[in-house]
């Protein structure tokens, strides 16, 4: 993804992630209601339908709607600016880092589309062990997390005494 086509490959990956995210969310909304639970792997993984008005893991879900929208909009604008800065300047010669940033952007775009359309994000992947449930998430959240993890391993490390 380096060179003059690097931004185009990043844009393609971002759009692909956002598209897959939106298609999976539309399918879940079409086939599930919020009371449905489809057991995929017994004792480990279900498909559910839930709406998250907050941010990651439901944080800020109780905040008044107007304040939450202002906060989320500002956060999204700042995050997109940071991702673009790193994509075009800091990691312009690192295809793995650029793919990671494109994944982060694509995931953010998928969730932003939900927020604009619905005022909340659709989540449907429910992993659990016993009575412990990881907060439900979606394809966009997965792309963001994978992008962040890969990017962490791409960050140059300083050696020294």
Residue 89, domain member (yes or no)? yes
Determine whether 141 is an active site residue. Answer: yes
* The pLDDT of residue 103 is above 60: yes
**Total domain count for the chain?**
1
54 CB-near residues (< 8 Å, 6+ apart) = 60, 61, 62, 63, 68
Residue 160, domain member (yes or no)? no
Residue 159, domain member (yes or no)? no
- DSSP β-bridge partners for residue 37: 48
Over range 45-57, report the average pLDDT.
Answer: 86
The model carries a pTM of 0.86
Catalytic annotation, pick one of 21, 94, 114, 123: 123
- Candidates 145, 157, 118; CA nearest to 56 is 145
Q: Rounded mean pLDDT of the chain?
A: 88
CB neighbours (10 Å) of residue 29?
15
Residue 90, domain member (yes or no)? yes
Q: Are 82 and 136 in contact (CB under 8 A)?
A: no
Tens digits of residue pLDDT in 134-150: 999 999 999 999 999 99
Residue 123: domain span? 3-26+33-154
Q: Which residue has the tokens 């979606």?
A: 138
* The pLDDT of residue 160 is above 90: no
Determine whether 36 is an active site residue. Answer: no
pLDDT greater at residue 5 or residue 111 = 111
Q: Are 138 and 24 in contact (CB under 8 A)?
A: yes
Residue 19, domain member (yes or no)? yes
Residue 49, domain member (yes or no)? yes
Confidence category of residue 69, pLDDT binned at 50, 70, 90: confident
* The pLDDT of residue 131 is above 70: yes
């Amino acid at each position: 993804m380096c060179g003059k086509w690097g931004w185009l490959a990043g844009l393609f990956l971002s759009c692909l992630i956002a598209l897959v995210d939106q298609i999976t969310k539309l399918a879940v909304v079409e086939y599930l209601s919020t009371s449905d639970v489809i057991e995929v792997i017994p004792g480990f993984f279900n498909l559910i339908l839930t709406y998250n008005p907050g941010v990651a893991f439901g944080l800020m879900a109780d905040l008044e709607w107007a304040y939450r929208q202002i906060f989320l909009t500002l956060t999204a604008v700042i995050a997109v600016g940071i991702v673009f800065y790193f994509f075009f300047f800091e990691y312009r010669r690192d295809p793995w880092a650029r793919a990671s940033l494109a994944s982060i952007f694509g995931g953010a775009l998928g969730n932003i589309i939900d927020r604009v359309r619905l005022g909340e994000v659709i989540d449907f992947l429910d992993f659990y062990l016993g009575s412990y449930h990881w907060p439900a998430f979606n394809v966009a959240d997965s792309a963001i997390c994978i992008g962040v993890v890969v990017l962490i391993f791409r960050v140059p490390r300083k050696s020294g005494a």
